[in-house]
Structures are given as structure tokens and as C-alpha cells.
Amino acid sequence: MASRDRAGLDVAHLIAGLAAIAAVTLVYARVLHESNTATVSTTFLLVVLLIAATSRLAVAVVTSIAAMLALNFFFLPPSGTLTIADPQNWVALFAFLTVSLVASHLSAVARTRTDEAVARRDELARLFDLSRDVLVVADGPDALDVLARAVGRRFDLTSVAIALPRDDQWEIHSAGARPLSLDAHQLDAAFAAAGTPLEFDAHARTYAGHTTMVIGDATVRVVPLRASSKPIGVLAAVGRPIEVGTLDALAGVVSLAIERVELLEARTAAERAREREELKTALLASLGHDLRTPLTTIRIAATNIKTAPLAPDEREEQSDLILAEAERLSRLFQDILDMARIDAGAVATAPRWAYPSEIVAAARDQIGQALRRHTVDVQVEADRPVWLDPRLVAAAVAHVLENAAQYAPPASTIDVRSRLSDEGLVIGVHDHGPGLAPADLPRVFERFYRGSDAVRTRASGTGLGLWIARGLLAAAQGRIWAENDPAGGAVFTIVVPAEIRAQDEEPG
């Protein structure tokens, strides 16, 4: 496409040059009747220089020959013929031709060098832009596909492929309008050629290992990708011609990008391993504390019931204590299961029609013992059926209620407000405790995070409840946030997207 455009431009410049020669000839021969060959030749030379400054050498040479012929035919005696009577005119004619050709050549050389400088500047700009793209490529399974697309986009290539040897096969990341079907044997040969001693060819301004492949009607240029001096893969490119030195520099940028992606992946894996170890340590420490306390309490209460003569109210108190701690153990094991399901992304949803009052009642039943020292004030506005997973929502509300019961003063009231909105079901839980410390607000939903009040009041718990509530709600496409009420206490708001059934609609 570019060559056709350049050829069309050269034809246009040639026509313009010949037209200018004809115009000068007409003006001097027919209008001004100019017979001074120095004036005419200087004007012709000016036209030739203008054409040489804007077109390739061949166009300037043809224009020079046309000017020489016009000068000879119309202005050198005898006029009207190509015969030259005076030998001095031969000297003048050849001097004119020589000057015009030399000037055209010098102009073409200067323009060619200018074009090369502009092309190199453009290639450097492309490399710089690609380097910026590399810095924003994150790790992930599609990181190298993104890199291939960036190379193709920045260098206007038809097709690009990054091929990396993985065990006994090639991992290929391609981009472009025409996907490349690279042959494994050809890639093996190109990779083997890249493994030769690294030497720089000063004449070609490139390193060894460049090869070409022919795939269908496309010529594929292949350049090695190296980390230091060790080959790590090959880069295949189809499209506009790229200088070999620039192609080597492009391969160097791609190699650095691949190393960066691999380092990011290694760092991510190390961070995940560290997080897993921290999780194991925190989980074991939490279980060690939260299992020991209820088991000890159950054992003491059971011993008291068995060995000591107790009054009926004392026996009931010990029985309630055993039930409360057993429920606490059951909740702890359920929390561990929920945590594992959330981490594995295995929280299944089972939506059905349910009433908001039914969801709140189910949440209260799950933690009845934890709420026995509090009054729960429930107000449900517009108790109409909603389409959602009531099990997940009730479990999340139960965790929020349990958290409120732990930090609210004994015998205080916990307000639960339910309403329907354009977003779906909205449930708010408001306790009348000390509220959340400013430092705790951004972290209250983190795993194993326990606020400053938990340390101060020695409240029990693993710090999993609110994190699990957020994870369960996320599976139901819901969300939760916390804030302090200006009148006192903390407010947790739950919003779950849900379809709301009209009042006059029959159940489906």
C-alpha cells in the first residue's frame, strides 16, 4: 500500500515537472521571446531543483533530461532542431545537464537521509510507547496476549506471535488480523539458531539468530528473545518492513516484558504462599483459643450438674451455659466451612420467593443463645415476597446480629429494620453500643480482624463473622457496609438485589 502511494506521488511530481518545463518554455519562447540561454537554463535548473527536493532521484533525472532537450530544441541555435552548431553550446548544454543531475543527486541523498532520520525517530517513538505499555501490563493468564497486541498496535504489524518453549511444546501468544499458524519444527530450528554464541554484526547492526519463514503467502520475520544471553523464545512478525536493528531492539523490549510478567507472577505466588501461611497460623491460633474456652466451660458445667446438688434454677443456668457454648462451637465449625467455601468460590445460590420477615426470623433462630441477653426490635416495612437466596442472606444477617450482640451492652436493644427499594431488599442492623473506632471502619470486614473494642473488652470471637457475611452476600450479588450513627452505636446496612413480587401477583 505504501509503495503504491509513493509511486502515485512520483507520477504526480513527474507530470508537474514536465508541465513546469513546458510552461517555462512557452513563456520564454512565445511570450517574452527570450534568447539568453543563461536566463533560460537557470530557470530550468530551478524547476529541476524543486522537483528533486520533493521527489525521488529518477523523477529528477527525467525532469533534467526534459529540460536539457527543451533548452536545446527551443533556445540553442539553430532553434527548432536538436542540432547544436556552436561547440560552446555543447559545453553549456552538458554543463547544464551535469549541474542538474548532481544537484538532483545531492537533493535526493539529503532527502533520503532526512527520511531515514524521521523513520528512526518514529521507530524510537514506537519503542518508547511500547515500553510504557509494558509497564502497565499486569500479571495474569492473558498478560502475554496483551503484550502481543501492544506490539502489533505500536508497530502497525499485520500479525505478531510470541512463542515460548514450555516442556515439549510451544506456548504461542498471537495477535493481529491474521493469526499465525507457526510450525513447531520451524520454531525449533529458529530457537536452535538463537542458541549460537551471541555475536554482534556491526555491519547489519544486529545480533545473530534472525531468520525468516514462509507461511502461505506471508513472509514471517523471526527474531530471538533473549534474557541476558540466553534465548527464552522467539518473536514472529508479519507486516510492514522494520529495520533489523529496530527489530532487535523490539525483541529486547519484549524479552524484558516477559521477564517482568514472570517476576510479577512469582511475586504474586510468593504473596499467596505467605498469606496461606499467615492464614494457617491465624486460624490455628483462633481455633486453639475459641475451641478451648467453650470446651472448658461445657466440661465444668457438666461436672457441676453431675456431682453437685443444684437447685432447679442453678441446674437450668448450667444447662443454658452448656447449650450456649455448644451453639458457639457449632457456629465456629460453620464459620470454618463457610470460609473454605468462600475461598474456593464454591458458594452455591438457590434463589426462591421468600418474605423479609422470614429471613430475619431465620437469622435470629441461628444465634438464639447469643441474643438471649438483648432485646431485638424488628420492624419490617412492606413484607412482600422477594426473589433471592434466603439461606445466604439469613446467614449474613445472623453474623451481623452476632457481632452486634458481642459489642452492645447487656440488656440493650438491637434494632433490625427491613425495607424494599429499587435496589432490592435492604436490611439494617443498629446496635446501641460504643460504635466503631475510626481506625476500625476501613478494616472491619477483613478476615480475622478484631477491632480495638474486642481487645479492650476481651470479647470472644475469631474475627471471621463480618468477613463471612460479606463473602456470602457477594455470592448473592449483594453488599454490606458499616457506619456510625450520630446518636450512638454502629449501623450495618445490607443490600441484596432482588425481584419484588407485586401484591396482587400469585406465587409462580
Q: Would you put residue 468 in left (φ > 0), alpha (ψ -120 to 50) or beta?
A: alpha
Q: Which residues contact 60 (CB under 8 A, 6 or more apart)?
A: 17, 48, 51, 52, 100, 101, 104, 107, 108
Distance CA 83, CA 65 (A): 16
pLDDT at 222: 82
* Cα 289 from Cα 161, distance rounded (Å): 56
Other C-beta atoms closer than 10 Å to the C-beta of 482 total 19
Residue 199 is predicted with a pLDDT of 57
Q: Evaluate whether 254 touches 215 at the Cβ level (below 8 Å).
A: no
Q: How is domain 346-500 classified at the CATH fold level?
A: Heat Shock Protein 90 (3.30.565)
Collect all residues with Cβ–Cβ distance below 8 Å to 407 and sequence separation of at least 6.
Answer: 431, 433, 434, 451, 453, 454, 457, 459, 490
Q: Distance (Å, rounded) from C-alpha 349 to C-alpha 167?
A: 40
What H or E segment, with its residue span, contains residue 226?
Answer: strand 218-227
Inter-CA distances, 44 with 16, 34, 63, 86, 215, Å: 13, 13, 9, 21, 51
pLDDT tens track of the chain, all 508 residues? Answer: 455 666 777 788 778 878 888 888 888 877 777 667 778 777 877 887 787 777 777 777 788 788 777 877 777 777 766 666 566 666 666 776 677 777 777 777 777 787 777 777 877 777 787 777 777 777 777 788 888 888 888 888 888 888 888 877 888 888 877 777 777 777 777 777 776 655 555 455 566 667 777 777 778 888 888 877 788 888 888 888 877 777 778 888 888 888 888 888 888 888 877 867 766 666 666 566 566 677 777 888 888 887 767 788 877 888 877 887 787 777 777 777 777 777 777 888 899 999 999 999 999 998 887 888 899 999 999 899 999 999 999 999 999 999 899 888 888 999 999 999 999 999 999 998 888 888 888 888 888 777 666 545 545 556 778 888 999 999 999 999 999 998 889 999 999 999 998 765 554 4
Residue 376 confidence (pLDDT): 94
pLDDT of residue 178: 74
Q: What is the pLDDT of residue 1?
A: 47
Three-state SS at 34:
coil
* Residue 289: predicted pLDDT: 57
* CA atoms of 373 and 292, how far apart (whole Å): 23
Q: What is the pLDDT of residue 495?
A: 96
pLDDT at position 319, please? 83
CATH topology of domain 271-339: Helix Hairpins (1.10.287)
CA 306, 310, 313, 318 dihedral sign is negative
Residue in the block written with cell 505500536: 154
φ and ψ at residue 445, rounded to 5 degrees: -100, 15
Mapped onto helix, strand or coil, the DSSP state of residue 352 is strand
DSSP 144-205: HHHHHHHHHHHTTEEEEEEEEEETTEEEEEEEESS-----HHHHHHHHHHHTS---EETTTT
Task: Give pLDDT, residue 291.
Answer: 65
Written as one letter, the residue type at 403 is: N
Give the per-residue pLDDT at 356: 95
Phi-psi group of 216: left, alpha or beta (phi > 0 → left; psi -120 to 50 → alpha; rest → beta): left
Its CATH architecture, for the domain 140-268, is 2-Layer Sandwich (3.30)
CA distances from 166 to 163, 232, 240, 332 (A): 9, 10, 30, 45
**E strand or H helix at 380:** strand 375-380
**pLDDT at residue 4, rounded to an integer:** 62
Cell of 256: 524484558
- Could you tell me the residue ranges of all domains in the chain? 2-121, 140-268, 271-339, 346-500
47 close to 66: Cβ distance less than 8 angstroms: no
All residues at 6 or more sequence positions from 23 whose CB lies less than 8 Å from its CB, including other chains = none
- For residue 96, what pLDDT is reported? 67
What is this structure's pTM? 0.50
